[in-house]
Structure 1
Amino acid sequence: MSKTKLTISKNGFIKVEGDFEIVDTEGVVYNVQGRTSLGLCRCGLSANKPFCDGAHRNGFEHEAAAFDLPPMKTK
């Protein structure tokens, strides 16, 4: 399986690229019409959630900078 790449945009969406499938909480698959790249909303303002419609341009701010997570907890 190829890697799926997620890019966290500064003041914007999460870009998903590659071979992916998006499902809702019931396990129903969103039909993304063969797209291999799309944007997911992370500001909560999109009228097309979970997909980005550009509504973040109205003031959503988040400086996206990568960092290391702490080690996973074990029992």
Structure 2
Amino acid sequence: MNPSTITAYPNGPLLVRGPFELQGEDGERIPQHRRTIALCRCGLSAIKPLCDGSHKAAGFRTD
């Protein structure tokens, strides 16, 4: 089994690849429909913790 990886996408989300389990604030498991997901870093996504692309319109930038 390959390890999970988290990659910070420049000026965008965190890409999570590989086997993982995602939990919400309440500890409940969030169903996984893909092997790769994008987690919001800008705080503007309407579907947090997942990215919906809001960072692009907001001009989100990272170092």
Q: Is the structural similarity TM-score above 0.5?
A: yes
Aligned length: 62
State, as a whole percentage, how many aligned pairs show the same letter.
Answer: 42
- In structure 2, how many angstroms separate the alpha carbons of the residues matched to 1:46 and 1:26? 19
Structure 1: 4+ residue segments shifted above 2 A: none
Name 1:68's counterpart in structure 2. none
Higher Cα Rg, which structure = 1
> Match of 2:12, as an amino acid?
G
Alignment TM-score, normalising by the size of structure 2: 0.89
Name 2:31's counterpart in structure 1. 31
1:1-75 mapped onto 2 (5 Å cutoff): 2-33=2-33, 35-58=34-57, 59-63=59-63
> How much is the aligned-residue C-alpha RMSD, in angstroms?
1.2
Unaligned runs of 5+ in 2: none
- C-alpha deviation, 1:25, in angstroms: 2.8
Q: Secondary structure at the match of 1:56?
A: helix
Unaligned runs of 5+ in 1: 64-75
- C-alpha deviation, 1:24, in angstroms: 1.6
Alignment TM-score, normalising by the size of structure 1: 0.76
